Structure formats: structure tokens, C-alpha cells
Amino acid sequence: MSTITLIRHGQANSTAQDEVSYDRLSDLGHQQARWLGEHLRETQAHNTRLYTGTLRRHIETAEGMAMDLEPSRDARLNELEYFTLGGLLAQQHGIPFPTEQAGFIAHLPTVFNYWKDEKLEGAPETYAHFQTRIRDALTEIAAGDGPALVVTSGGLIANVIGQQMDLSVETTARTAIAIFHTSLHQLHPIGGTLSPVLFNATPHLDSATRRASRTNI
């Protein structure tokens, strides 16, 4: 069983209100990815494999990192469709999509709970399927040879951590909201199980000149 380092993609189009328009890095997102790659090379972080989802923001982040590792693309590492689910919540239950950043803090747990309880007709996948696909993907990666980098999304990272730590839906959602762009989250094999040993680390953004570049929306 191998160590896995999960990486949230760089800042995407934060003004978007649908899946397609969100799925591209902002100028800052591209810079965050470059800074992360520089940090990993300078510290000689040992990683022998690189995985990404198939979303544009995942691929652009991995390309910006320039790790000299051939990436493996896996759709199981793609994010849950938050904009789609939020739209269904508004249409079917009259709960509007938030218009300000503070509104997401209450909105995301609500979306997760309605989705988990199968109260969103026409959801692109069930909550149970999402949980299974991310568990299967990480299990396969962990079974491979050598430490692996996995570029993915904040909601997926939060749910992986939620699975490993048996977190409630509400706590998992709050965890997702807290995750910074291009942050590092490490799972290390302990006693035959992947255990979280690093969460939301941004060493490449922690200097005085870069702290303002640390984003989660």
C-alpha cells in the first residue's frame, strides 16, 4: 500500500454558476499550480506516479505543476456536480443557490443531505455511487507501486477524508468548504489502512508575499 497525496486544483472560474463555465482555471489558479510544482521540485518530494480526473481544471493544474510524470486520467477522480445538484435543489425544493460567499457555508451541507437522502430527482449520480467510485479509485491507486500525486477537487478530497475518519455529512461538507486551492492532503498506510496525516497544507503559498493568493472560492 502506497502513500497518496491529494491536491485540489487551482482556483477555477469563481463567478460561474454551472459546471461547464466553472471548469477552467483563473489566472491565479494557473499561478498557484506553477508555485506548487516549483515547491515540490525544490523540496525533492518523492512521487513516482501522477493521477488526475478528466476535468479541464484538473488537467490544467497538473500541466502547470510540470512534474515530469506521465499523468493517468481517471474519471472516478472527478468532482461531484455541485452546480447541477444545487440547481435541482432550487427547482424541486425552492432552496435558492447562494449569491454570496457566506451562503455556501449553509448551502453545501443542505445539498449533501438532500442528495444522500435521494431527494434530488435527476441527479447525475447517486450519493452512494459517488462514495463507491472515489473509494474504488483510491484503493486502486494505493495498491500501486510508489507514492502518488492525485490532482482532483475539494468535494472529492473532503469525502475521501470523511470516509477515512467516519465524518458526518455536515462535517464533511464543512471540510470541503475549508479546502484551499492547490492544497496538499496526504494519506499514509498505517496498519493496512490509509490514514490522513496531512490536511490543507499550502507551503507554496505561506510566505508573506503569497498569503493573499491562498483561496478556497
What is the per-residue pLDDT across 41-54, written as a single tens digit (0 to 9) for each? 999 999 999 999 99
The model's pLDDT over 62-105, given as tens digits with 9 standing for 90+, comes to 999 999 999 999 999 999 999 999 999 999 999 999 888 788 88
9 is catalytic: yes
| CA distances in angstroms from 168 to 112, 175, 193, 198, listed in the order given | 10, 10, 20, 20
98 inside domain: yes
121 inside domain: yes
41 inside domain: yes
Tell me how many domains the chain contains.
1
133 inside domain: yes
| CA distances in angstroms from 147 to 9, 143, 184, 187, 203, listed in the order given | 19, 10, 14, 10, 19
102 inside domain: yes
81 is in an annotated binding site: yes
Domain limits for position 13: 6-196
214 inside domain: no
Residue-level pLDDT at 107: 95
Neighbours of 208 (CB within 10 A): 6
1 inside domain: no
Q: What is the CATH number of the domain that holds 90?
A: 3.40.50.1240
Kindly report the pTM of this predicted structure: 0.96
79 is catalytic: yes
79 is in an annotated binding site: yes
State the first-to-last Cα distance of the chain, in angstroms, to the nearest integer.
33
118 is in an annotated binding site: no
205 inside domain: no
Of 79, 181, 185, 204, the catalytic one is: 79
